[in-house]
Amino acid sequence: METAYVVVLSFFFIVAIHRLLNRGESKNMSKQPLPPGPRAIPVLGHLHLLEKPYHLAFMRLAARYGPVFSLQLGSRAAVVVSTADCARECLAEHDATFANRPTYPTLHLMTYGGATIGHSAYGAHWRHVRRVVSLHLLSPQRVLSSMVPTITAEVRAMARRMYRAAAGGAARIELKGRLLELSLSTLMETIAQTKTYRPADDADTDMSPETQEFKQLLDAIISLLGLTNVLEFLPVLQTFDVLGLKKKIAAAAGRRDAFFQRLIDAERRRLDDGVEGQKKSMLAVLLALQKSEPENYTDEKIMALCFSMFIAGTDSTATAMEWAMSLLLNHPEVLKKAREEIDAHVGSSRLLGADDVPSLGYLHCVLNETLRLYPVGPTLIPHESTADCTVGGYRVPSGTMLLVNVYAIHRDPATWPDPDVFRPERFEDGGGSAEGRLLIPFGMGRRKCPGETMALQIMGLALGTMIQCFDWGAVGGGGAPKVDMTQGGGLTLPRAVPLEAMCKPRQVMLDVLQKL
């Protein structure tokens, strides 16, 4: 009896001490100031200060208000961080606190009620989806065994198209379309095993009808998402749907769902008929899981997973490669050094293969430096705090939206010497991981993009193949024309003008290219 009494008293004593400590911590936090910020105006808050590209507008505000500043975006409170130390504080020290995502009514229509991996709320559903993606869909083993052959085939198809376009000499090629076609066809083949082919009357595309249809859907969806920014922060506009945006998004989502349902039904028929290729598609993996856990793998949840893959792995990958080629065209000495490395390692009697890429150290430096200068998610997907916390000495209340300005962090002169200069050599011998430096083009912490391995495989093999097989030059007459590096406004840091370049098959690679 005395033992039980002592245990009960000890329990209440520990609870009392815990509450006292928490109360003291809360009092100390309440004394901390909120992050500074510009003066807000009624209703709009600071929306009038946001000019595209947003990351550049945030950099201008950070120069005035510091590395942590607050904004009132209509009805939402937000905080923007712009240094490596503050990013680590948010996404490492307070990782769990900032693991949630803000909810947007119109975005909910496009993300299956917030069920996609990038936009789902932090909790049981997100943990389940993350586990499925990490273990079954995008594990390093699956990428290497099942996806690399597809990536290799699609890169070779792209090289074949470029060679045929420039068979008579140099040809002017619009690269963004080619690179988007590559990433989209790769995902379509990986997810649904829709074989790509080249119609006899169209020598300039290898996209299957399904891939072309989804490209049109994706273009429509991305353009609609780009219009939602202001409306999401002004509830009154949401209520009346002044621009009819909800109807347009619902219509696009309906077409997308019908498209995915056709793919699911086709894969289900193949599995029921016992038709299965040498490698399982992602849909085949998910449908197998559906049989054992039907409540966790409904058709709608499978659609949400597939859509997550497409939205994260197509335009962003193509955009990163487009910036890499833009930089190489403006720095021919870097292009030459990368080519010399490939020639020394691979030679000219065969095409670069996936097994060669890990040995091409300088090519990886080029990719890292491209992602440093032009991260495809310049402010990452927004996070949201679920508890009060401290960032940079300022109090950040629960429910605050967090924007991490990766673009500013990657160009911070305090940690990156000559931050605006394209210098891949800074990553040689581990130089990019020096103390204080932070390279986070795919994010960090719990919400880091799980598709990093796949994206780097596509970018490394595609960029290496283009360097190995072709001579490249900027479009323009006289001297050494420079590629315009003006940035556009968008979700994935696009170029203001799609990249066009002069492409000519290398003489030493003609025998290989002719056999493609």
Binding-site residues for heme: 449
- CA–CA gap between residue 414 and residue 516 (Å, rounded): 48
Reading the block at residue 65, the tokens are 């208000």
* Local structure of 318: helix, strand or coil: helix
* Local structure of 396: helix, strand or coil: strand
60 phi/psi in degrees, rounded to 5: -65, -40
- CA–CA gap between residue 362 and residue 376 (Å, rounded): 21
Residue count of the chain: 516
Reading the block at residue 202, the tokens are 């169209």
Binding residue ranges? 449
Neighbouring-strand partners of residue 500 = 174
Closest by Cα among 78, 86, 43, 34 to 57: 78
Whose tokens are 């968008």? That residue is: 490
- CA–CA gap between residue 306 and residue 364 (Å, rounded): 28
The residue type found at 180 is: L
Are 86 and 405 in contact, with CB atoms under 8 Å apart?
no
* Local structure of 164: helix, strand or coil: helix
Closest by Cα among 195, 180, 218 to 462: 180
Alpha helices in 42-147 (DSSP H): 54-65, 84-88, 105-110, 124-132, 140-142
